[in-house]
Structure 1
Amino acid sequence: MADRLQPVLAGIVTALVGFASSFTVVLAGLRAVGADDAQAASGLLAVCVAAGACAVWLGLRHRLPMAIAWSTPGAALLVATGPVPGGWPAAVGAFLVAGVLIVAAGLIPALSRAVGAIPAPVAAAMLAGVLLPLCTAPVRALVEVPRLAGPVVLVWLLLHRFARRWAVPGALAVAAVAIALTSPGPGPGGLHLAPAVAFTRPTWTVAAVVGLALPLFLVTMAAQNVPGMAVLAGYGYRAPLGSALRVTGLATALGAPAGGHAVNLAAITAALAAGPDAHPDPDRRWIASVTAGIGLALLGLGAGAATALVLLSPPILVEAVAGLALLAALAGAVSAAVAAPETREAAVVTFVVTAAGISLLGIGGAFWGLVAGWAMVLLFRRRPTSGGPGPTGTAPDRSVSPGPAPGAPAEEPGPAAPARAG
C-alpha cells in the first residue's frame, strides 16, 4: 500500500511546492503588464489549469514523469517589462504569440536550433537582468517594513538551511500570518474568492510582440524547457521534447485570453517527480507528475483567495517573497553568464542593459539586452585557425554553440540510468 501511495504523495508535494513558491511572482507579473485584480486571478487560474492538463496528458501519453509548471522566469520578465503599448489586451496578444512560437518550435526543428544558437552566456545574462529587480526586493522590504519582512527572511534562512524545498512556502506562510495580524480591515471587497475566468480579447502591437512575446518565448525555452529536459535526462529519461513543446505551446495559446502567460516543462520541481524519492521504480514515477498536475489544477481554484492575500499586504512584502523564490534562479543565471571568459564582457553588457529596464521604441529592456549582447559576441568573435588555438593563444571561440541551460535547477540529479524512451 505504501509503495502505491509514494508517487501520489510525491506528486502532492510537487504541486504544493510549485504553487506556493512562486504564485506571487505570477500575480506580480500579470499586474505589472496591466491586469486588474480579477484578470490577475484569472491568469493564475489559467496557468494552473493549463499546466495541470498538460502534465496529466503527457504523463499518461508517454508514461514519463514530465512535470509541467508555469514560466516563473517569464513572470519575472513581465515585472521587468511593465506596461506595454496597447495595455492588457496587447499583453494577452503577446502571450498568445508566445504560445504559437512554442508550438512552432515543437513542429519546426530549425526554430529550436535557432533558439539553441543564442549564446548560452548571453541568454543567461538576459535572465539574470530580468530577475535582479525582484531579487533585490527582500533587502528593500527589510528597510521599508522591517517588522513584517524580518520574520519572513529569518524563516526562509532557517528552512533554506534545514529543509530547502520548504523554504519559500514557509516564508509565504509567515508572510500570510503577518498580513492577517496587521491588516487594518476585511479583505478587498471587489474581488471574488470563488474561481472566476475573465476573458480578454487579444490585440497585437509591434512593440508588445517584439518587446514581450519574443523575450517571453526565449526565456521560457532557455530557462524552463531546456533545463527541464536536462533534469529528466539526468534521471535517465529520454523525453520527447517536440511533443512537450507542442502540448505546452497549445495550452499557452488557449490560456492566453484568460490571462495565462506561459506553461512549460518544470525545471526545479521536476526533480521532485522524476527522482528516486518519487518511487524506487523509475517506470512508476510518471504517477507523481500526473498527480502533481491534478493537484496544481485544484490549487488554481484558490487563485482568488491567493490574489486577495496579495492585495492585503504591502506590495514590497509580496515582492520580497517572490524575490526569495527567485534567488536560486538568479545565482544559476549569473554563474552561467560569466563562466566562459571569451563571452564574459558580452554577458555583462546583456545583463546591464536588461537590468536597466530601459524602454526604447516601446520595446522593453530584455529584448535590447539580448540584441546588445549578441552584437558584442559577433563584434569580438575570433575566427578559429585550423588545427590550433587562435592568434592570441586562446582556444577557438565556441560561444555560439548551445551550452548549459541558464538558470539550471539547484538540485543535483543523481547518476543517469539507462535512457528510457517516451
Structure 2
Amino acid sequence: MKLTRRTLIGSGLTAAALLAAPSVFGQAKPKIVIIGGGAGGATAARYLAKDGAGALDVTLVEANPVYTTCFFSNLYLGGFREFESLQHGYDKIAAGGVTVINDLATGVDRNARTVTLAGGQTLPYDRLILSPGIDFKDGSVPGWSVEAAEKMPHAYKAGPQTQLLKSMVEAMPAGGVFAMVAPPNPYRCPPGPYERISMIAHLLKQKNPTAKIMVLDPKDKYSKQALFEEGWAKHYDGMIEWIGPDFGGGAVEVRPDSMEIVVDGTVEKIDACNVIPGQIAGKIAQIAAVTDDKGWAPVHPENMKSKMDDNVYVLGDSSAQGDMPKSGFSANSQAKVAAMSIRGELLGSKVFPAKYSNTCWSLIAPDDGVKVGASYQPTPEKIASVESFISQTGEDAALRKATYEESLGWYEGITTDMFG
C-alpha cells in the first residue's frame, strides 16, 4: 500500500499511526537532508543521528570536505592560532551514521521535496534543514565585487580569504595604511570586524608599529564599542582611526585596481584593504524561496521552522528570528531546538519548550578578552532576549585573562559538539 494524502484521509489513520507508518508498511526511514556543514548544519546532523537512535536517514550536504570556522579566524590573523587549528573534517560525523556528501546544492523543489546537487544527484527529503551561512549583497560597497575579493579580501567566509588577508597585512610597507570597510546591519558576528581590527593592530604593532588603520563604518555604533575603544587606546594608542557615518564612513567607494578608497569624495591611497560587504542569507535559501524582501529567511521562534514551508527549517546566519545575533554559538543552539522538533514530528519523541543561548567572545590584545551574551526564549513574534550580560570597562587583568581562557575552552567544546 502506498501512503498518499488521499489514502491517509480515506483510511482514517491518525497522526500517531502516520508516525508509525514507515515501520508498519515497511517503508524507508524518514529522510532528513541538511545543507551546510557549519555550526548549525553539523550540529543538527549529529544530534539527529545520535538522538534519533538510527531511526532517521540523515544526509549532510557540504561543498567543502574540510570546514574552516569563521569564529576564531581573527585570532589566526593576530598570530594567536595556527590556521590548521580552525579546520575540521566530517569523518566522525560520517562514522556516527550521517551520510556526508561533499557537493554543492543548486536546487530545491519544495513541492516534490527534493534537493538537486551540482554533481547531478537528486535527494528526496521529508524534512529539509538549510544552514548555508551568508552571501554578499551586490552593490553594497561601490567598486567592490566578489571578483575584487582577490585584491580587497572580505575574509568573512573563512578559508583562503583569511590567509590572503593576513599575507596582505604582513606585506604592507613600513608606515603603511590598512583600511577596513565595515558592514551595515545585520551581518554575521556583530563584534567580528572590531575584534579583527584589534588582531590586525596587534600584528602590526609587532611587525610594523608605525602603520595606521582606518575603519570606515556605515553604522553610528557597534557591538562592544566602549570595550574596543578602551582597549584600542590602551594597547594601540594612535594607530586606529574609526570613521563613522557622520564623517564619511557611510559614503565609501573602493578602487581595488589602484588600491584606493574614496571617503566622502576624498581619495585615499592605501596599502591593504578588508571590505566586509552587506550580507543576505546563503544562496540556497534564496533558491528555495524561503527568504523575505530583506534577503533573510523568517522562521517560527519556537522551532526554527520556515514561515514559508512547514517541512523546511532554517538555522544560523540565514535566519530572521529576532534578537539572537548571527553567530556560531547561536547556530549551534538553534540546531538542537530544530533537531528536537524534527524528532518529535517524525518519531513521536518528547519536545521540550525551546531555550536558546549565545555568547560572543573577542580578543583585544594578549590575555585581554571581553564577551557579550544572553539567553533567549520564543515569544509569538520572535526569539527574544530574556537575560543578558557584557564585560565592563575597567575590569582587572586577571578577569580579562580568565575571559580569554574561557573562550578557548568554548572553542574546543563547540567544535567537538559540531564535529564529534
Q: Shorter-chain-normalised TM-score: which range?
A: under 0.3
State TM-score, norm by structure 2.
Answer: 0.24
Higher strand proportion (structure 1 or 2): 2
Bigger radius of gyration: 2
Higher helix proportion (structure 1 or 2): 1
Which has the higher relative contact order, 1 or 2, with Cα contacts under 8 A spaced 6 or more apart? 1
